[in-house]
Amino acid sequence: MADVSSPVWFITGCSTGFGRELAKLTLDRGWPTIVTARDKSRLADLIAGYDNALAVDLDVTDQAQIDAAVKAAEDKFGRIDVLVNNAGYGYQASLEEGEENEIRDMFDANVFGLFAMTRAVLPGMRARRKGHILNLTSQAGFIGFAGSGYYAATKHAVEGFSDALAAEGAPIGIKVTCVAPGPFRTDWAGRSLKQTPVKIAEYQETAGNRMTATAGYSGQQPGDPVRAGEAMIKATEAQNPPRHLVLGELAYNGITGKLAERLAEIESWKDVSLSADFPK
């Protein structure tokens, strides 16, 4: 059973990237932390020397593994205070050339797996009337880049889900934050990104060029994943945590620019929008 003064963290997708760096930070703080990966043997070095760690196998597309992981966490630490839905990956293709099996597999991990993981921890948080859920989205949750339409769709779905979750959770003490990073120096492009090459010439300058740039950008991104982890922890410690935590200058500029552009367009069509109602 964990000390009530120390938050219990449950982080999905800890083999690399944001999940691993965040787990290092929570473990170093002495907080009980459940770290997960499809193969928990990949986490041996991460948890070595920590008695506040629990490593479990977890494929978020497998309901039985989700249930077993949550039970193991609650059996060892008594509760889950912070859930970080980090597991997932990217898939790029022009929309016309997207492959059905690749699209569905990504939705299973990024969307339906996140939904299932969240449902599994909600009963405990609801009973305690306390909890914080961090959903890793992306700047793609606000911006649909050429070549990343299906990936953006998964992140848009998580944003909509999180809005509803925040509305339902607020009266019972459950907080929700979507974390929207821009480009960060993880191995996402090298390990967690699948692509279907562009073969249709008309999409080469849009989807094709962006896909090439994404793959070639790995290791040069401006974002620091350790600083990102610190920012996530800071959000959970806030009395009024943000509903959206945007990480990195590129994401901040891109998202705020897109929202301003969208609002300006909606306002420019205000008269037409209001004309759709029955006359008063």
Q: What CATH number is given to the structural domain containing 22?
A: 3.40.50.720
- Taking alpha carbons only, the member of 66, 171, 182 closest to residue 129 is 171
For residue 211, being part of any structural domain is answered with: yes
Which H/E stretch holds residue 136? strand 131-136
For residue 3, being part of any structural domain is answered with: no
User: What is the rounded CA–CA span in Å between residue 189 and residue 217?
Assistant: 8
Task: Return the minimum-mean-pLDDT range out of 65-79, 121-135, 179-193.
Answer: 179-193
Mean pLDDT of 158-162: 98
For residue 267, being part of any structural domain is answered with: no
For residue 132, being part of any structural domain is answered with: yes
For residue 114, being part of any structural domain is answered with: yes
Q: For residue 39, give every residue at least 6 positions away whose Cβ sits within 8 Å of its Cβ, in sequence order, or none.
A: 15, 57
pLDDT of residue 213: 86
Q: How many domains does the chain have?
A: 1
pLDDT of residue 189: 57
- Taking alpha carbons only, the member of 34, 62, 58, 60 closest to residue 46 is 34
What residue numbers bound the domain in which 244 lies?
A: 9-249
pLDDT of residue 190: 56
Predicted TM-score of the model (pTM): 0.94
Pairing mode, strands 90-92 and 174-181: unpaired
- Catalytic residue check, 151: yes
For residue 29, being part of any structural domain is answered with: yes
Contact 131, 81 (CB under 8 A): yes
From the candidates 91, 150, 151, 203, give the one annotated as an active-site residue. Answer: 151
Q: Is the pLDDT of residue 153 over 70?
A: yes
Quick one: pLDDT band at residue 188, thresholds 50, 70, 90?
low
Three-state DSSP class for 280?
Answer: coil
Quick one: pLDDT band at residue 258, thresholds 50, 70, 90?
very high
Mean pLDDT across the chain:
94
| Cβ count within 10 A of residue 72 | 17
Contact 35, 47 (CB under 8 A): yes
For residue 270, being part of any structural domain is answered with: no
* DSSP code, position 198: -
Mean pLDDT of 83-99: 96
Quick one: pLDDT band at residue 200, thresholds 50, 70, 90?
very high
Mean pLDDT of 249-253: 95
For residue 264, being part of any structural domain is answered with: no
